[in-house]
Amino acid sequence: MNMSQQVNQKVTASHLKRQAYCYVRQSTLKQVFENTESTKRQYALRERAVALGWPVVQIVTVDSDLGETATSVADRKGFQKLMTEVSLGRVGLVMGLEVSRLARNNADWARLLEICAITDTLILDEEGVYNPTDFNDRLLLNMKGTFSEVELHVLRSRLRGGILSKARRGELKTRLPTGFVYDHNDKIIIDPDKQVQQSIRLFFDIFQRTGAAFATVKAFAKDDVKFPCRMHLGPDKGKLKWQRLTSARALVILKNPRYAGAYYYGRQRSRKNVDGSTTYFQVPRDQWLVLLKDIHPGYITWEQYEENLRRIRQNAIAYNVIDRKTPPREGSCLLQGLAVCGKCGQRMTIRYKYQRKNRLGPVYLCQRNRIERWESKLPIYTRCCY
């Protein structure tokens, strides 16, 4: 029995009554525009379905995932639609150029095979037609899925190795904070804009004098001095904007070793969540992958950078930011250190005010605008009720 006869035996009238889905995908938008031959080959699978007996009107092309990665189905609406139609028993044939066009995650691939086996749905790639209910075809499909995942792992390992090798030499280009730019030789230099230089040097001078990020923000706000910010995203990418300095921005600058002329890589890590989203978090310095001192010019020395971090830690302990809960104090207020603002989510402070008949009454205050930006806007008051 030749190959064409075997294929004809797999395709039955039950399959031909249902629709044939052609799944088209490219991993990146760059591939969509440059690797057009692969896209043409995927669309050409429709002719294979016609040759097997499917009418043209029953062939559905799903190409909404062009430019989407294959590592997860969380953001691939086209693949999700395909899975839904297969699970409802409306699909007789699923077409993909190769396994990696459908999924490179074994869990997603195994789920698709299981659903296709339950609903008696055939799978077609460039090499043939497979029936997931047949043991030999199922074994071959599982092996293809495994090889595809191994291929992705090898590609990632090679790319990761090249990136780490370049980072260890301090040559890997990363996003620079405001105050630094790359020259025509891809060397890091201080921003030639004199106003930017003066603003950043003024920032570190004030912090060295006051010893607190909040006091530094307060000094900028009192003199109505704006702070530079180089945009990295959106239509204004690369442009310089002058904004009001905030406490959060001040802490980011003080904790960034770039301003001390150091190169670092691997300070931030990521992990996948159950819902498919990604969480990013920072790790301690001893877990950074690369830290090279005195690689490029800086605004402060490494000793000053270490001293700034020591001051920040002392301030955090003094204000009890580490524990995120203040100890019980005198007064009748029951939610000291526990009440949060319903508008911004920050913890509220406590004040006591004399009310009627000289009775001392507790009041919760939200002072985010005042603390973050040193704005004179009145804080939000909430009367304590109990």
Q: What is the maximum span of the chain, computed from C-alpha positions, in angstroms?
A: 103
95 - beta bridge partners?
22, 124
Residue 368: phi and psi, rounded to 5, are -60, -50
Give the separation between CA 347 and CA 385, rounded to whole angstroms: 17
Give yes or no: 27 in active site: yes
Q: In the block, which residue shows the tokens 């201080």?
A: 190
For 56, counting Cβ atoms within 10 Å of its Cβ (0-12 exposed, 13-18 middle, 19+ buried), the class is exposed
Read off the DSSP letter of residue 357: G
Eight-class DSSP state of 256: -
Q: How many angstroms separate the first and last alpha carbons of the chain?
A: 86
Q: How far is CA 139 from CA 113, 116, 145, 216, in A?
A: 11, 14, 10, 66
**CA-based angle 343:344:350, to the nearest 5?**
90
Residue 82 burial by Cβ neighbours in a 10 Å radius (0-12, 13-18, 19+): buried
Rg (CA), the chain: 30
Q: Following DSSP, what letter does each residue of 136-191 receive, concatenated?
A: HHHHHHHHHHHHHHHHHHHHHHHHHHHHHHHHHTT-S--PPPTTEEE-TTS-EEE-
Question: For the residues of 266-288, what is the DSSP string, one character each?
Answer: --EEEEE-TTS-EEEEE--GGG-
Give me the catalytic one of 27, 100, 148, 199. Answer: 27
List, as own/partner pairs, every contact residues 73-76 make where C-beta atoms lie below 8 angstroms and the sequence separation is at least 24, other chains included.
73/103, 73/105, 73/108, 73/276, 74/275, 74/276, 74/277, 75/276, 76/25
Contacts of 141 (CB under 8 A, 6+ apart): 99, 109, 113, 123, 130, 132
Q: Which residue has the tokens 């799903």?
A: 62
CA 303/CA 296 separation, integer angstroms? 16
Report, as residue numbers or ranges, the catalytic residues: 27
